[in-house]
Amino acid sequence: MTSLSDPVSELAGVGPKRAQALRSLAIENVNDLLTYFPFRYEDLQAKDPTELTDQAKVTLKGTVAAAPVISRFGRRKTRLTFRLLLDEHTIIPVTFFNQPWLKDKLEVGKELAVYGRFDAKRQSLSGMKIIAGADGGGMGSIYPANKEVRQGTIQKLVESAFETYAPVIVDLIPEPLRDEYRLLHRREMIHDMHFPASDRAAQAARRTAKFEEFYLFEVRLQVVKQQDHTLHGQALTYDLPRLKDFIAALPYELTAAQKRVVNEICYDLKRPIHMNRLLQGDVGSGKTVVAAIAMYAAITAGAQAALMAPTEILAEQHANNLAKLFADFPVNVALLTGATKPAARKTLLPQIAKGTVNLIVGTHALIQPEVDYADLGLAVIDEQHRFGVNQRQALREKGQQPDVLAMTATPIPRTLAITAYGEMDVSVINELPAGRQPIKTSWIRSNQVDSTLREVKAELSSGSQAYVVTPLIEESEAVDMKNAEAIYERFKEQFEPTYRVGLLHGRMKNDEKNAVMDAFKNNEFQVLVATTVIEVGVDVPNATVMMIYDADHFGLAQLHQLRGRVGRGKKASACILIADPKNELAVERMTTMTSTNDGFVLSQKDLELRGPGDILGKKQSGVPDFKVGDPVADLNILSVAQQAAKETVASPNWADKDANLALAAFLSTTAHQNTTMD
């Protein structure tokens, strides 16, 4: 019995060597082949001679007027020439290069259609192919090919596969969805993707193909999410009166968005399911205090909480801030990083194992094999995309399925929220705390820096501080960008002794970095020249100026993160982008940064301009390589498909194997194609 999961070697003409070649195009079975869709089409409709334009690709229909002539030139090159009679008065010379075997198809008086490029000056056609059938017609499919598998081979195999397997192509999208969104049956969609009769037919097929691809991906994600929720997580029965006392003791009122998100998280904590929630919010929206409330809730339930941060500076800052927040509450905060001294580590590890330390803050040191927890109930991962999949998983495996709260200060555009994070529940803080003033962002060119420095000095004279960021640590001959050491020397000359200037970069030892950062926090330095080591989490409310050299070399999301280091106090703040962009894309990034402070708008724009791999890193982007759909350009289709998938998996009929036989069978046979979700 034939099945779409049959290997391509079942097709005539596919032996071991060709099967291996097809594997280079990720074609292993018949379904892979039938969904190996064309990336464009050629219009093969025969054209009237009066409609021809120079260098246009056209199909001409006519009669072979004279026997073909083959001539040789160069090394092993041939030229086949014949004349094509289009009508009583029009004869067009046609030339095919390096295809001498076509001579057998060219009989004088035979009608045929030829596809090629028209040369108006010579009134001739450079032939590309002879179309089956004298009338031409339809659309010619053009496939991604390589040296191992030629275009013509793919076309023939697709024709053969469809002819043999069309009867077993069944619908995967439920009928109500097909009707609601006016989608084609799967068999019709596959046919019209490969053999469309018109451009309109091709567009309708592509629309259905995009929806199906997104829908199947999202169904897989929803199944993963459903399975994750069925894991027996800990039901953390927190002490509500104590939690309310802690919230009431905070030095500020929570925003409406923070309150909503706290309720979402606490609702999950109390349920006997495994929470896997992403907390996202713009820079300065107050994610850390929400995480603190969640961790205190876990602690009042008798469990431990852990917070893992990507850098030692950020981990130490979190530990200090949490120690202050919990100063009047029964929370024992400990810091564990790679810099923790052996003696302190030796004392701390048994306390964590016994549970006398109930809030552990640290870096990847938290997931080392020798670190045992008494009862880890909640794991918080800050800037979670900075960690690898295995590192995040290692923290989740500490304890008995602890609830997981992943945080990111990089607002996730809807595209990534639906794909890369589609298996997670998402909480969004979309409101800034009261009193926060928008940061004024301006873009200047490098020849305007001197006049801007006068404005910076005026700001420092009022008691404020300034960051100066540059992409490189030291001078590089390969890249013409400002470097931290040169800028540091220049600012020392211009600002000292009135204002002290500090230097911070990633190659410094941890003790040195911490000392510089502490000095800046204490206003011992008024200007801090730094690389992007200060991008995330560093909190100095007195800093009101951010200068970024070579800003056009950063992505929008990173620029927004850097900008977020200022504007954290009550004073008005400014971000100055210094850039001499060399292309339109870089100019667009600069103008976009100056037009909005909304991180969600910027993150979506960054995704459109650069792609997910450049934003999160290729290994961390989590966005699969869809065959037809573009998750950025086709966001509306993706969103609809996600909602449809949610309804499918949540419906009572989902467990009905008979009702979902085709879809369930397809998902099980294509499991190897699923993007791994952590």
Beta strands in 135-267 (DSSP E): 136-142
Kindly state the DSSP code that residue 532 receives in the 8-state scheme. G
User: Is the pLDDT confidence value at 243 over 80?
Assistant: yes
pLDDT band at 616 (very low <50, low <70, confident <90, very high): very low
pLDDT at 632: 77
476 falls in which pLDDT band (50, 70, 90)? low
pLDDT digits (tens, 9 = 90+) for 564-587: 889 887 788 999 999 999 888 889
- The two counts, helices (H) then strands (E), for the chain are 22, 21
Half-sphere exposure of 127 toward its Cβ, with a 13 Å CA cutoff?
Answer: 25
Q: What is the pLDDT of residues 522-555, one digit of tens each?
A: 999 999 999 887 755 567 889 999 999 999 988 8
281 has which bridge partners?
429
In whole angstroms, how far apart are CA 444 and each of 245, 441, 457, 600?
A: 49, 10, 17, 24
pLDDT at 284: 77
CB distance 576 to 444 below 8 Å: yes
The band of 655, judged by pLDDT with boundaries at 50, 70 and 90, is: low
pTM comes to 0.67
Q: How far is 245 from 450, CA to CA, in rounded Å?
A: 52
Q: Which two tokens stand for residue 206?
A: 């592509």
User: Is the predicted pLDDT of residue 405 greater than 70, yes or no?
Assistant: yes
pLDDT at 382 over 70: yes
**What pLDDT was estimated at residue 593?**
94
pLDDT tens sequence across 411-447:
677 777 777 677 788 888 888 777 777 899 999 999 9
Helix axes 199-230, 661-669, angle to 10 degrees: 80
Strands 69-73 and 77-85: antiparallel
User: What pLDDT, on a 0 to 100 scale, did the predictor assign at position 133?
Assistant: 53
pLDDT digits (tens, 9 = 90+) for 140-164: 788 988 888 988 899 899 999 999 9
CA torsion angle 51 55 61 65 (round to 10): 120
Task: Give the C-alpha separation, 328 to 559, whole Å.
Answer: 38
pLDDT band at 677 (very low <50, low <70, confident <90, very high): very low
Q: What is the pLDDT of residue 613?
A: 45
Instruction: Count the neighbouring beta carbons within 10 Å of the beta carbon of residue 347.
Output: 12
Q: What is the pLDDT of residue 210?
A: 95
Residue-averaged pLDDT of the chain: 85
Task: Give residue 14's pLDDT band: very low, low, confident or very high (50, 70, 90).
Answer: very high
Report whether 63 contacts 91 (CB < 8 A): no
| Measured distance CA(150)–CA(63) in Å, rounded | 29
Question: What does the pLDDT read at residue 244?
Answer: 95
Provide the token pair at 42.
């050629």
Q: Indicate if the pLDDT at residue 231 is higher than 80.
A: no
279-314 tens-digit pLDDT: 988 777 888 999 999 999 999 999 999 999 988 888
Q: Which amino acid is at 637?
A: I
Share of the chain above pLDDT 90, in %: 44
Q: Over 90: is that where the pLDDT of 658 sits?
A: no
What does the alpha-carbon distance between residue 390 and residue 550 come to, in Å, rounded to a whole number?
Answer: 34
DSSP 336-347: E-TTS-HHHHHH
Mean pLDDT along residues 259-264: 96
Contact status, residue 573 vs residue 555, Cβ threshold 8 Å: no
Place of tokens 């099967």: 19
| H or E stretch at 545 | strand 543-549
- Which of 42-64 are b and which e, b meaning 16 or more Cβ less than 10 Å from the residue's Cβ? bbbbbbebeebeeeeebbbbbbb
Mean pLDDT in residue range 609-622: 47
pLDDT of residue 480: 63
Give the model confidence (pLDDT) of 333-363 as tens digits: 999 998 899 999 999 999 999 999 999 999 9
> Is the pLDDT score of 676 beyond 60?
no
Q: Is the pLDDT of residue 180 over 60?
A: yes
- When pLDDT is cut at 50, 70 and 90, the band that residue 620 belongs to is very low
Instruction: Express each pLDDT in 25-48 by its tens digit.
Output: 999 999 999 999 999 887 777 777
